[in-house]
Amino acid sequence: MSPHPHDDSADARELARRVGEAMYAADTASKDTLGMQLLSCEPGRATMRMAVQALHLNGHKICHGGFMFTLADSTFAYACNSRNHNTVASGCSIEFLRPAHEGDELTCEGVEQTLSGRHGVYDMRITNQKGQAVALFRGKSTQISGTVIPTDDAAASSKTENHA
């Protein structure tokens, strides 16, 4: 059974978890280059975390805004691919609210605002370890053809454990 776009059943949640796991395993940029962790991937939602390290600092010795964007953009990618339809970003905007410094721990939570046809809008909020909002991000997504993980595999997702 193919999940309905707004399905939040146990099957849909299990599928989202496995899509997230498979994407993260292959996501060199987020995982290896920038050191992000995927905390959760649910239908239409995701949460990631990134501790600000020396490698993230720009010429002002604060976290490069591009890496805050990248944290949000990755979280957006997990949220909008979570139903196992290949989906890409068409455009994004970000508002920077306060700087992040080395040692800060940034958490990004993202949630689907709307999905109609192949187009969606997703909002991300990055907060620091004090719970202060650091940046707000809005992403527009477009579904393309194909699935993130094989659909047979997806169909089997609630029955068999799969180590992607």
Binder to a second copy among 1, 103, 114, 130 (CB under 8 A)? 114
User: Is residue 37 at the binding interface for a second copy, with CB under 8 A as the rule?
Assistant: no
Q: Please, what is the minimum distance in Å from the beta carbon of residue 70 to a second copy?
A: 3
User: Is residue 145 at the binding interface for a second copy, with CB under 8 A as the rule?
Assistant: no
Binder to a second copy among 111, 121, 147, 162 (CB under 8 A)? 121
- Give SS3 for 64: coil
Q: How far apart are CA 141 and CA 32, in angstroms?
A: 25
User: Is residue 39 at the binding interface for a second copy, with CB under 8 A as the rule?
Assistant: no
Q: How far apart are CA 32 and CA 62, in angstroms?
A: 20
Other C-beta atoms lying within 10 Å of the C-beta of residue 41 = 27
Q: Which of residues 49-88 bind a second copy (CB under 8 A)?
A: 54-61, 63-67, 69-74, 77, 86, 88
Q: How far apart are CA 56 and CA 28, in angstroms?
A: 16
Question: Residue 147 burial by CB count (10 A; 0-12/13-18/19+): exposed, middle or buried?
Answer: middle
Of all helices (H) and strands (E), which one includes residue 39?
strand 37-42
Residue numbers at the binding site for a second copy (CB under 8 A): 22-30, 32-34, 54-61, 63-67, 69-74, 77, 86, 88-99, 113-114, 116, 119, 121, 123, 125, 133, 136, 138, 140, 148
